[in-house]
Structure 1
Amino acid sequence: MNSFLHCGLLLLLLLVFPTQVEGKRDLPLYCDVCRALVDELDYEIKKVGPKKTIQVKNFQISADGTATKNEIPLARSEMHLLELLEDVCDRMDDYALYMDSQTKKKNYKRFAPRGNEKVAALDFGNFFFDPRSSESFKFACETIAEEYEDEIISLFAQEADHVADKLCTEKSGLCQDSAAIHTEL
């Protein structure tokens, strides 16, 4: 009976004084993931031919009562960007933790070549291939893609310069400063 009373009192305290549990993000991980996400999207956008277009309805009605249609470049259309964003995190398996042998600095790098790319001159002995780390990288990508979907679409649709800096530093705050740019991704 006494333990039942203690449990009830504890439950009452938890309901009256809820604690806010907020998981801390591993900012270096999220920064690398954000930059990798931008790099992967940029690569996929550049693969689309510049002459490919898509018809979109303009929600203005002409004098005869029909909706007008516009053609816009496919590569940076909202529809295409959303499709790319759905699949981009699957490519995070091509990244692993890398330690620079001279500076001993660790960050995530792409180790797998894309399409017809040649294998980069990287020392694979400096990569740390860990399934848990790979899962964390992919989870962080999915989190960023979900939380910042509108910003990502907007920046790429507008063909903004320095998308990685704008998204990862200015919009999301995941990267502390632009001096920490990981160009190796």
Structure 2
Amino acid sequence: MATLHHSLVFLLAIFYAAPSNPQKINIQELKCLVCQKTVDEMEKEIEKVDPGKKVDVGTYRLDHKGNQAQRKVELRRSEVFLTDLMETVCNKMDDYVRVRSKTSGKLMVIPLIINGAMNPDLGGYDIIQDGDLNKSLKFYCENLVEEFEDGIIKAFSSESAKDLDIRICSEHAKLCNMNLTEDYEFEANDEL
């Protein structure tokens, strides 16, 4: 029922808020934006998990001294948790739309629904229609997590996981062309 509701709201928003003329989109830029939103969504889900929850990782084989090479890590930083998260995170892209800022003309990917209600900032953007009802956002996300799974897990596994959007989207996947300064200016200007 909630999915039907989201679909109806989405369709209404498309028909009433979308400009009548189709706009060209730079696919590389769109893939970069999807990558950044995927990292954001993963970070949100990881933050929901208690950092005090630990799991044993390592091998169950005995070394030459009869010891097991295991250690405890945060559940939310474990490979198993991150792999499970990557299997579902792209479903969140169903709630995002492509837009252009009415003031700057900048391409963005924003959530259509926030906390169960229509995004209150949607009026500041022109929704960009496409033939697939924004299913390409989910498609690009799925391709990203499939192709770069090992790098994503490695980045998120780190206890000092910082600047993950840059590490994953720019350095590892090479989808975005940005450095640390550009990224922080980008985020500061695009807060919703």
Question: TM over 0.5: same fold?
Answer: yes
Q: Is the 8 A contact 1:92 1:138 kept in 2?
A: yes
CA deviation map 1:62-97 (0-9, x unaligned)? 678463643321011111000000101111011101
- State TM-score, norm by structure 1: 0.74
| Structure 1 SS opposite 2:134 | helix
Q: Is the 8 A contact 1:109 1:184 kept in 2?
A: no
Q: What amino acid does structure 1 have at the position aligned with 2:152?
A: I
Q: Is the 8 A contact 1:58 1:70 kept in 2?
A: no
- Residue 167 of structure 1, CA deviation: 1.1
User: What is the aligned partner in structure 2 of residue 152 from structure 1?
Assistant: 152
Q: What amino acid does structure 1 have at the position aligned with 2:121?
A: L
CA deviation map 1:119-175 (0-9, x unaligned)? 654034633465615211111001111111011000000132100011111112111
User: What is the aligned partner in structure 2 of residue 110 from structure 1?
Assistant: 111
Q: Which runs of 5+ in 1 are unaligned?
A: 1-24
- Residue 56 of structure 1, CA deviation: 2.8
Is 2:138 aligned against 1:138? yes
Q: How big is the alpha-carbon RMSD for the aligned residues of Structure 1 and Structure 2?
A: 2.7
Over the matched positions of the two proteins, sequence identity in percent amounts to 31
Equivalent pairs, count: 159
Q: Is the 8 A contact 2:98 2:128 kept in 1?
A: yes
Q: Which segment drifts farther, 49-58 or 59-68?
A: 59-68
- Residue 108 of structure 1, CA deviation: 1.0
CA distance in 1, matches of 2:85, 2:115: 16
CA distance in 2, matches of 1:97, 1:36: 12
User: What is the aligned partner in structure 1 of residue 122 from structure 2?
Assistant: 123
Q: What amino acid does structure 2 have at the position aligned with 1:152?
A: I
| Structure 2 SS opposite 1:102 | coil
CA deviation map 1:81-119 (0-9, x unaligned)? 00000101111011101221111222211232258xx86
